[in-house]
Amino acid sequence: MAERAGTARGIRPRGRGAPDRTELKRRVGALFSVLSDVYGPERLIVKAGKLEALTLMRSPRLADRVVALQRLVYDDPTIQRAPSEAEIPGVLSEIEEELADLVAQRRVEEELERKVAERMNRRQDDYLQEIRLQVLREAAGPENAGTRKKLEELEALERVRLSQSALEALRPRRLKEVVGQDRAIRALLAKLATPYPQHVILYGPPGVGKTTVARLALEEARRLPYTPFPDNAPFVEVDGSTLRWDPRDVTNPLLGSVHDPIYQGSRRDFAEGGIPEPKLGLVTRAHGGVLFIDEIGEMDPLLQAKLLKVLEDKRVTFESSYYDPDDPHVPAYVRRLFEQGAPADFVLIGATTRDPEEISPTLRSRCAEVFFDPLSQSDIERIVVQAAKRLRVSLDPRVPELIAAYTVEGRKAVNLLADAYGMALYRRKGRGGRVRITEDDMLEVIRVSRLSPFTSARASDTPEVGKVFGLGVSHYLGSVVEVEAAVFPAAQRGRGTVRFNETAGTMAKDSVFNALSVLRRLLGVDLANYDVHVNVVGGGLVDGPSLGLAITAALASAVQNRAAFQNVALTGEVSIQGRVRGVGGIPEKLYGARQAGMKKVVVPQENQNDLPAEVSGLQVVLVQTVEEALPHVLVPARRR
């Protein structure tokens, strides 16, 4: 058979002279009739569909019908080449030989079936008894001793329960228990708990409660009579970084997919009937509620585009080349899904740690935006105290302060407290009484986890020459940046050099040259006569020109040998005319200044509208020029 199939695919002409086209058509029709007798009309159609031969069977071209015969007889959907009219007689002869083998095989099978029937008639009583036993077995179901034992083992496993994880046990149960996010909560409720809820994107650093607030906001919205959310409105949560899909739409857990009958996993009854089965996705499970996608910025851009289409239509559609609307065997629910789609009317809440500029503009245009604030040290301490109350443990006074020094994430703070709780339990060796977490327990956890303090640079009340604090921001977390400057007379007058750590970035390096020009005009000092060294401590990459003002102040301190206050931080871009230009991330930078213990922050006047409504614990000074800024950071000459 393999040799004949290979010959047929290779196609060689047989005989000479022009073939009779009418005769060839009759032969092809006769061969289809034989196939119909062998398989039956319905099974032949199903087989042709699986082998992609239906269209070829109905083609008016004789060569296409011959290709359909080849696919059906050799059971090979890869046959593509249509024979020429001169080649058709030879191909038909080979098909006839193969079909003759198939018919002979079927006749042998029919003969065997006839003999089996005769033997069954002769042993009717024995077979009737066996049939009765079979009926009894079927009535008892598919279970047997082995399967029942497996079920008992599963039920025994279900009865075993460990306690909740620390995050589950200590997670806030009400919105008022969420620490440090009052503004974000109000903003989210204003967009969700209304008769016309909006899709929302939540921005903020990790571990500040974005997922928890979204879940609790839906619970609050359910209780209000004027919102469209029913009491059982679902909250479906998924991580956008794990959403993978097949471009052929074979699998798509987010939107749903179709199991065609030729693929594994389709139901047996559907596969045998050639019926495709739609599988509903998360967008339909979230119908009437909230679909929460964490790390939504990590989703595939094409999948985001498909999701936006669902948001507009409030339905998800299904397609399959195997769906036949005229097939009477298609179940009603399958027919409805293909013809009307599935409902997907939900509110999308996406969360991300990325900056807004990194999120798809089309997604942002359809969503409101809410920003979560970083947690301050006092916020972390409150979270630790709340978690200790839920654990029913007492704390040494320094434990909350210690945890706050090593993390700014609420989730991490709870985990550290849970680790220290375990240390305290182990130390007690099961003795009764209330557990107390000591400072030593917490220090042991810190040492074992090899943690480093979150804020390495701290404010000081002792002024220093040539050292100034700037401000930076990364992923919604602000921090202070130490800038040092040293100035020495050049070996040759007018041939001074400028050194700068290149790892800080080209924009920060440009700020050094801008500062040199500004100081030459302000101080009347030609820095070409000096060797200048500017260092960003730690060598971290500074994205943007916002260190310009800090670099200028550090150089001014070094050139004049005037000490600079170490509890003042500066941010702003400096132009060569000495103007201080606006920069981004002002709320986050103020947060970083508070974390480092700064008392004063110098900010560009252009950022006046970016200041938060409340700036507790910080004096914020707005400046327009370098001349205005320097007196706030340099110690007056009389106090040297």
456 is a catalytic site residue: no
Q: How many residues does the chain have?
A: 640
Beta-sheet pairing, 436-437 with 467-474: unpaired
Please give the Cα distance from 603 to 569 (Å, whole number): 9
Beta-sheet pairing, 530-536 with 498-500: parallel
Complete DSSP assignment for 446-497: HHHHT---S--S---SS-EETEEEEEEEETTEEEEEEEEEEEEE-SSTT---
Please give the Cα distance from 258 to 500 (Å, whole number): 60
Question: What per-residue string of b and e applies to 487-516 under the rule 16 or more CB within 10 Å gives b?
Answer: beebeeeeebeeebbeebbebbbebbebbb
Nearest to 471 by CA among 379, 365, 551, 528: 551
Which member of 360, 546, 600, 616 is catalytic?
546
Using left for φ > 0, alpha for ψ between -120 and 50, and beta otherwise, residue 536 falls in beta
589 is a catalytic site residue: yes
- Contact, 505 vs 542, CB < 8 A? yes
Which member of 575, 589, 599, 600 is catalytic?
589
Which residues does 17 contact at the CB level (< 8 Å), separation at least 6? none
Please give the Cα distance from 464 to 487 (Å, whole number): 14
Please give the Cα distance from 83 to 513 (Å, whole number): 78
Nearest to 436 by CA among 424, 445, 426: 424
Token digits of residue 561: 């040998």
Nearest to 619 by CA among 596, 598, 588, 589: 598
Please give the Cα distance from 540 to 473 (Å, whole number): 12
Cα–Cα distance list, 380 to 511, 616, 623 (Å): 36, 17, 33
Phi first, then psi: what are they for 542, rounded to 5°? Answer: -105, 110
Q: What is the 3-state secondary structure (H, E, C) of 295-312?
A: CHHHCCHHHHHHHHHHHH
Cα–Cα distance list, 219 to 194, 229, 232, 235, 358 (Å): 13, 9, 10, 9, 30
Burial class (CB in 10 A: 0-12, 13-18, 19+), 78: exposed
Which residues does 181 contact at the CB level (< 8 Å), separation at least 6? 208, 209, 213, 372, 373
Please give the Cα distance from 195 to 185 (Å, whole number): 18
Please give the Cα distance from 443 to 449 (Å, whole number): 10
Known catalytic residues are 546, 589
